[in-house]
Amino acid sequence: MGQLLDGIIRGIVDKQTEIYNPVFLYGTPLNTIEAIEKLVELYSNKQPQAVINHVVGEHFTISLVRAIKEDRLEQYTKSLSACDLFILEGAEHLGGKMMTMKEFYGIFDKLWESGKQIVITGLTTPIKMACLEPRIRTQLEGGIIYNVDENF
**Over the stretch 68-119, which tens digit does the pLDDT of each residue have?**
899 999 999 999 999 999 999 999 888 667 777 888 888 999 998 999 999 9
For the chain, the C-alpha Rg in angstroms (whole number) is 15
Q: Yes or no: say if 8 and 35 are a contact pair by the CB < 8 Å rule.
A: no
Q: Yes or no: say if 91 and 57 are a contact pair by the CB < 8 Å rule.
A: yes
In angstroms, the CA 97 to CA 22 distance is 22
Which pLDDT score is estimated for 152? Answer: 60
CA distances from 15 to 21, 86, 95 (A): 10, 13, 30
Angle subtended by helix axes 134-141 and 98-113, to nearest 10? 30
* CA 123, chain centre distance (Å): 13
* Residue-wise pLDDT tens digits, 106-134: 899 999 899 999 999 999 999 998 888 88
In angstroms, the CA 22 to CA 63 distance is 23
